Amino acid sequence: MKKQRKPYVTEKTGRLYYRMTWLDGNRRRERYIPLPNDEDSADFDRAYWAIRSGTAEILQEAPRTSWEALIQSYRASRAYRSKKPGTRKKYDSVIEQLREKNGNKDVCKVTRAQIRAIHEKYAHTPRKADHQLQVIRLLLNYAKNELDWIQTNPAEGIKLFGSQKEWQPWPDTLQNAFVKACQELGDDIALMAYHLGTGTGQRPGDLCGMKWEHYDGEYIAVLQDKTAERLWVYCPDRLRRFLDGQPKRGAYMIPKNLTQPLGYDALERRFRKIRTAIGKAADGHVMHGWRYTAAVALAEAGATDAEIQAVTGHKTAAMAQKYRRQAAQRRLSRQAQMRRE
């Protein structure tokens, strides 16, 4: 028999919360306060009864300069509202963590050491660590320049980890190894993501949003999350043959179930499992590299900047020019060395 939960305890995205509700005038409000996940533990009981009795630290009145107040002010600002939906979504992934863990804490008391500790905590995933630091720095700049809460930004000057060779195009040998590993492990979803990524040149997050109804046998209508624009991307022959041979397991090409897509984080976990199976040869290569693989292949085939942009959706020609320079360097290197023979 399933154990009955304590009143007001609910589960969201695999985590337990205490759900508080109240009326604000005629509007119904609610708040979810995180709880320890082990309902049989003493820590859970202490946290639960502290919240229910109103003595929990998280329920105490927050200072005027709290992280919660900063986040609310920033989200109401033009600086936040003018950003693209995809950019806001990426910011929100960090902002919600800050709200949950530090909502009632005073922004004015945050130290450089605390921020550096957050950055170092994610050192094993450098891009994630740098993104955390950049969003914190942005919020503290807002607190400093727009709200006049602090005189200096303690996040300024903390060095980013920077590029970790994460944007390299995939050589043919590694692509073949990835396909083989997917087949050996029976991971049709990772294999689908690979073919969509190298075939359309789109960002991994955008691959997750592709529906079967977006594919007409020649083109895929891609809605780019970063730009909020719809692109019609022509599918090369290899991708068309692959898609035409796949069963439809749901509305999405990369499905979680019949009606929902698999999320980026779940897809990346599958990707890492395949990369581990390949071994050292795959070190330093990431899913985003499939986008670069497609762009470099286009450049090597002689595509113009405008043609590359029509596929990848880049707003400026700068990246397309970079791909063409890489392709030209490889071709010219061969020509130069052939002269020696």
Number of domains present in the structure of the chain? 3
Domain endpoint, select from 35, 59, 83: 59
Q: Which residues contact 268 (CB under 8 A, 6 or more apart)?
A: 204, 287
Same domain, 13 and 138: no
Ramachandran angles phi, psi of 34, nearest 5°:
-65, 145
| Residues 24 and 119 reside in one and the same domain | no
Q: Is residue 155 part of a domain?
A: no
| Rounded average pLDDT over 238-251 | 95
| SS3 labels along the chain | CCCCCCCCEEEECCEEEEEEEEEECCEEEEEEEECCCCCCCHHHHHHHHHHHHCCCHHHCCCCCCEHHHHHHHHHHCHHHHCCCHHHHHHHHHHHHHHHHHHCCCEHHHCCHHHHHHHHHHCCCCHHHHHHHHHHHHHHHHHHHHCCCCCCCCCCCCCCCCCCCCCCCCCCHHHHHHHHHHHHHHCCHHHHHHHHHHHHHCCCHHHHHCCEHHHECCCEEEEEECCCCEEEEEECCHHHHHHHHCCCCCCCECCECCCCCECCHHHHHHHHHHHHHHHCHHHCCCCCCHHHHHHHHHHHHCCCCHHHHHHHHCCCCCHHHHHHHHHHHHHHHHHHHHHHCC
Q: Decide: residue 251, CB within 10 A, 0-12 exposed, 13-18 middle, 19+ buried.
A: middle
* Residue 331 confidence class, pLDDT cut points 50, 70, 90: confident
Question: Is 30 part of a structural domain of the chain?
Answer: yes
Span of 153-157, 260-264, 329-333 with lowest mean pLDDT: 329-333
Q: pTM of the prediction? A: 0.60
119 against 254, higher pLDDT? 254
pLDDT digits (tens, 9 = 90+) for 110-132: 999 999 988 888 777 788 889 99
74 occurs within a structural domain: yes
The vertex-67 CA angle with 12 and 147, nearest 5°, equals: 145
Q: Do 49 and 84 sit in the same domain of this protein?
A: no
Q: Looking at residue 125, what is its pLDDT? A: 76
- Residue 62 pLDDT greater than 70, yes or no: no
Cβ-contact 202, 312 below 8 angstroms? yes
Residue 21 lies in a domain: yes
Question: Are 228 and 303 in a shared domain?
Answer: yes
Q: What is the CATH number of the domain that holds 259?
A: 1.10.443.10
Compute the distance between CA of residue 125 and CA of residue 108 in angstroms, rounded to an integer: 28
Q: Are residues 211 and 255 in the same domain?
A: yes
pLDDT at 24 (0 to 100): 66
Question: Which residues pair with residue 232 across a beta bridge?
Answer: 221
Domain that holds residue 273: 172-336
Above 70 in pLDDT, residue 166?
no
Residue 247 structure tokens: 């069963």
Residue 233 within any structural domain of the chain = yes
- 1 confidence band (pLDDT: 50, 70, 90): low
pLDDT at 310 over 60: yes
Average pLDDT of the chain? 88
Please identify which residue in the block is written with the tokens 């946290």. 47
Q: Is the pLDDT confidence value at 45 over 80?
A: yes
**Residue 309 resides in a domain:** yes
Give mean pLDDT, residues 245-265: 93
For residue range 66-78, list pLDDT tens digits in order. 999 999 999 999 9
Burial class (CB in 10 A: 0-12, 13-18, 19+), 307: middle
- Residue 198, pLDDT > 90, answer yes
Amino acid at 97: Q
128 & 44 share domain: no
Partners of 233 in beta bridges: 220
Asked if 189 and 295 sit in the same domain, the reply is yes
Quick one: pLDDT at residue 61?
64
User: Based on the domain organization, do 114 and 212 belong to the same domain?
Assistant: no
Name which of 251, 259, 263 is nearest 13 in CA terms: 263
Same domain, 241 and 116: no
Q: What is the mean pLDDT of residues 228-250?
A: 92
Same domain, yes or no, for 326 and 184? yes
128 and 182 housed in the same domain? no
Residues 293 and 203 grouped into a single domain: yes
Taking only the tens place, the pLDDT of each residue in 282-294 is: 988 889 899 999 9
Q: Is residue 154 part of a domain?
A: no
User: Is residue 3 in a domain?
Assistant: no
